[in-house]
């Protein structure tokens, strides 16, 4: 199948938080200098998060896309997303504050995107408390919102434009009954907001009034996007950048069961979200973003390549390994080749982006899990926690490199020899070529290979 020129897609290649937002932002910024750019996201909601530096201000984006701060860029929140109106309005306000009153990019919300409400967050919290003591989720109501689709009673963005209370009232009564069945009162439930403080869901009247006010403010951004997407995708002069949320290792099919997210975290989700307009096989670059020298994870999964606690804590502090959305400290483990190679294969990756190349230490070898052993035999990765708890990692060590020399390099051939050796190992062992690496936290600190 021929690939479309000027098309790029980026996903998390492991367990999330790999720094893909920065990569997407860089590509959008570069290509916006030469012509029209569309940025499209097809999954997740406000459980995703990355920080964008704007002048001297840093703004955390969750539902808004990379490219929001760039003039004339079209950003589309796609059908496959679950959108929380209150959080989205708070993000928009933060962007306007950072820019002095405007949102540089154009924002379109697909009328078919699912509306995520405080009812979903309340139900998730009550259900998780009943099941596990509320471990392992972001508490953002993502799963219940997607379940609404499967059970055939979702609220979609088009139900907010024009706003009528009938569906919202019916929705409230449903979740009121579900939560009552678990022994709690929906009206009294406190749910998280984007700012971090809790908000009481409130009575039916209070809840419906809140949604009505949010719907009025979001109405100008809600539209059918089918024709817009079709025309732009057919125009090969328009650059498309697809921004996935979460990562392949969090997918319900490919992640460490039962610790997964509810949306399709692979590029396959683009096909469904665009209603068949964009086949991901036609996207020229489909890159998975990975951390080069270690891996991080947030959740209840227990990964095999456990790292010494002192080194893990040092990396956590140096690399600011805390969730952009939840602020939870991430678990730090050694890089895992079997898992990452599995994700690259099932995710249909054409390239890799290796971030955090600067997180190395002079006297500490880079320890990499290169295989799994089980009862004396070499075994493969399988997406199941019960299985992974029975295997032992097999390690190989690599010499570190000088970070100053790394950051002075402008091309791959100028990288320290030990860094070149390590990157060649990653390409060979994962079976996917490198697109680029990052050598530090700043946008200009990176090297493109292709």
Active site residue ranges: 17, 50
Q: Which single residue is written with the structure tokens 């002069």? A: 237
The tokens for 264 are 């399709």
DSSP H or E run through 199: strand 198-200
- CA 294 to CA 339: how far, in whole Å? 13
- Our CA dihedral for 250, 256, 260, 266, rounded to 10 degrees, sits at 30
On whether the CB atoms of residues 398 and 365 are closer than 8 A, the answer is yes
SS3 201: coil
Q: Name the pairing type of β-strands 331-333 and 295-297.
A: antiparallel
Looking at the DSSP assignment, which residues form a beta bridge with residue 192?
198
On whether the CB atoms of residues 412 and 449 are closer than 8 A, the answer is yes
344 Cβ contact list (under 8 Å, min separation 6): 13, 288, 352, 430, 431, 432
On whether the CB atoms of residues 296 and 15 are closer than 8 A, the answer is yes
Helix-helix angle 417-430:337-346, to 10 degrees: 50
- CA 35 to CA 37: how far, in whole Å? 7
Whether a cis peptide bond, with omega within 30° of 0, leads into 162 is yes
On whether the CB atoms of residues 117 and 153 are closer than 8 A, the answer is no
Q: Name the pairing type of β-strands 73-77 and 50-54.
A: unpaired
Q: Which single residue is written with the structure tokens 């606690």? A: 309
Q: Name the pairing type of β-strands 106-110 and 222-223.
A: parallel
């Amino acid at each position: 199948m021929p690939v479309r020129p000027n098309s790029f897609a980026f996903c998390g290649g492991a367990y999330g938080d790999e720094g893909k937002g920065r990569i997407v932002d860089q590509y959008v910024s570069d290509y916006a200098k030469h012509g029209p750019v569309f940025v499209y996201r097809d999954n997740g909601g406000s459980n995703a998060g990355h920080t964008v530096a704007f002048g001297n201000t840093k703004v955390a984006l969750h539902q808004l896309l990379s490219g929001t701060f760039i003039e004339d860029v079209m950003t589309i929140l796609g059908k496959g997303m679950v959108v929380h109106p209150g959080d989205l309005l708070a993000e928009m306000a933060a962007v306007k504050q950072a820019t002095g009153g405007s949102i540089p990019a154009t924002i379109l919300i697909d009328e078919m995107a699912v509306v995520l409400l405080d009812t979903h967050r309340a139900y998730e919290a009550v259900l998780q408390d009943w099941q596990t003591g509320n471990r392992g989720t972001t508490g953002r109501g993502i799963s219940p919102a997607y379940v609404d689709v499967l059970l055939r009673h979702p609220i979609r963005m088009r139900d907010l434009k024009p706003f009528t209370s009938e569906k919202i009232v019916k929705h409230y009564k449903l979740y009121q009954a579900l939560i009552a069945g678990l022994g709690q009162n929906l009206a009294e439930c406190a749910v998280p907001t984007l700012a971090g403080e809790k908000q009481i869901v409130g009575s039916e009247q209070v809840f419906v009034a809140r949604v009505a006010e949010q719907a009025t403010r979001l109405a100008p951004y809600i539209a059918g996007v089918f024709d817009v997407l079709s025309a732009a995708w057919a125009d090969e002069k328009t650059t498309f950048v697809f921004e996935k949320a979460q990562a392949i290792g969090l997918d319900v099919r490919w992640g460490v069961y039962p610790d997964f997210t509810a949306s399709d975290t692979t590029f396959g989700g683009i096909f469904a979200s665009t209603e068949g307009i964009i086949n991901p096989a036609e996207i020229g670059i489909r890159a998975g973003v990975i951390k080069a020298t270690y891996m991080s994870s947030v959740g209840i999964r227990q990964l095999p390549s456990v790292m010494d606690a002192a080194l893990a804590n040092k990396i956590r502090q140096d690399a600011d390994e805390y969730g952009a959305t939840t602020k939870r400290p991430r678990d730090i483990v050694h890089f895992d080749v079997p898992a990452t190679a599995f994700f690259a294969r099932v995710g249909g990756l054409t390239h890799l982006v290796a971030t955090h190349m600067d997180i190395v230490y002079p006297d500490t070898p880079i320890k990499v899990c290169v295989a799994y052993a089980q009862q004396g035999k070499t075994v493969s990765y399988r997406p199941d926690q019960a299985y992974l708890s029975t295997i032992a990692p097999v390690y190989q060590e690599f010499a570190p490199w000088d970070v100053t020399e790394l950051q002075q390099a402008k091309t791959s051939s100028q990288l320290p020899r030990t860094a070149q050796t390590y990157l060649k190992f990653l390409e060979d062992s994962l079976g996917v070529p490198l697109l680029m690496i990052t050598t530090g936290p700043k946008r200009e600190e990176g090297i493109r290979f292709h």
